[in-house]
Amino acid sequence: MLVKSYLCKKVDMNSSVLLIEQKDGIFFLTINRPDALNALNKEVFDALEQFFKDKKNDFSVKGVIVSGAGNKAFVAGADIKEFIHLDSVEGAALSKRGQDIFFMIENFHAPVVAAVNGFALGGGCELSMACHLIIAGEHARFGQPEVNLGLVPGYGGSQRLVQNIGKTRALKLLLTGDMITATQALEWGLVNEVVPSGEEKVSAEVLLQKIVTKGPLAIQKTISLVNDFFNKAVDGFKSEYEDFGYTLGSDDAKEGAAAFIEKRKPSFKGK
């Protein structure tokens, strides 16, 4: 069932560059700098950091959808006008800070879906890849054009692009700075779905509505297990048997099995 986003409630921590609305535990974040194609400046990073910090242990949050204001861009990269004056030391520190914020998104307990409604370039492509799932509008374009500016990616693009589409394809995008279409991104496994332009958020919401019916602990642990695969310091197979035991011992697993046997829908409590 499609649910219209205008039923959302505005949330207190709204800043003008990051609009936050909430409906039934699903949070809609809109990066709101349409005149700069939603480029990521310090204010946007501050607002993203605040949201994901505040909600880190808030299990009433069932999912998050991130998109860009307008219909032209998701995010056209880091704000070029803002970083041009930085020196190497400041640049490295800011790159680390951006990476840390994107790690918070990647490790968030509930699924975060990027609803990519246009250009997702540089930091925008990196932001979408830090999310767990990506829904792209037909007109979306993805790319890492940092080389055009004489730069390498600063927010995890050189790592997550290889993880998501493999070394061969990642190197082509990273070395040429070329953009790819939504269809190509789907073919390469960079996005989960391509939908008609304008339906990105509603499709992301439909996807989340399905996920929120599952056991919340299982969803949380699945995100963490998949992230473990890419964490060289962790043995993901060990994490898996530990988390299997943890979820098996949970009330949710008892409820899931009981509901199956009684041929009814489960009522999970996230415990």
State in angstroms the smallest separation of the CB of 48 from ligand DAK.
14
For ligand DAK (CB under 6 A), the number of binding residues is: 26
The end-to-end CA distance of the chain, in Å, is 28
* Shortest spacing between CB 161 and ligand DAK, in angstroms: 13
Q: Does residue number 122 form part of the binding site for ligand DAK (CB under 6 A)?
A: yes
Q: Applying CB under 6 A, does 39 fall inside the site for ligand DAK?
A: yes
Which of residues 63, 111, 154, 215 is near ligand DAK by CB under 6 A? 154
Residue 270: other Cβ atoms inside 10 A: 16
Given the residues 43, 82, 138, 146, the one annotated as active site: 146
Distances (CA, A) of 165 to 132, 169, 187, 191, 197: 15, 6, 10, 10, 23
CB of 255 to ligand DAK, least distance (A): 45
Tally: H helices and E strands in the chain: 11, 11
Q: Does 123 bind ligand DAK (CB under 6 A)?
A: yes
Token output for 13? 């921590």
- Of 3, 11, 151, 206, the residue at the interface with ligand DAK (CB under 6 A) is 151
Q: Which is nearer to ligand DAK, 150 or 232 (CB)?
A: 150
Does residue 138 carry a catalytic annotation? no
Measured distance CA(130)–CA(125) in Å, rounded: 9
Instruction: Tell which positions 55-94 bind ligand DAK, by CB under 6 A.
Output: 76-81, 83, 86, 91, 94
143: phi then psi, degrees, rounded to nearest 5:
-175, 160
Applying CB under 6 A, does 137 fall inside the site for ligand DAK?
no
Q: What is the dihedral of CA 210, 213, 217, 221, to 10 degrees?
A: -20
- What are the residues whose beta carbons fall under 8 Å from the beta carbon of 52, sequence distance 6 or more? 101, 104, 105, 108
CB of 186 to ligand DAK, least distance (A): 20
262 is catalytic: no
179-181 sheet: strands from edge to edge: 73-75, 119-121, 141-143, 179-181
Hey, what's the torsion of the CAs at 34, 40, 42, 48, to 10 degrees?
90
The CB-of-201 to ligand DAK minimum distance in angstroms stands at 20
**Catalytic-role residue among 21, 82, 90, 126:** 126
Active site amino acids? 126, 146
Residues in contact with ligand DAK by the rule CB under 6 A: 36-37, 39, 76-81, 83, 86, 91, 94-95, 98, 119, 121-123, 145-146, 148-149, 151, 154-155
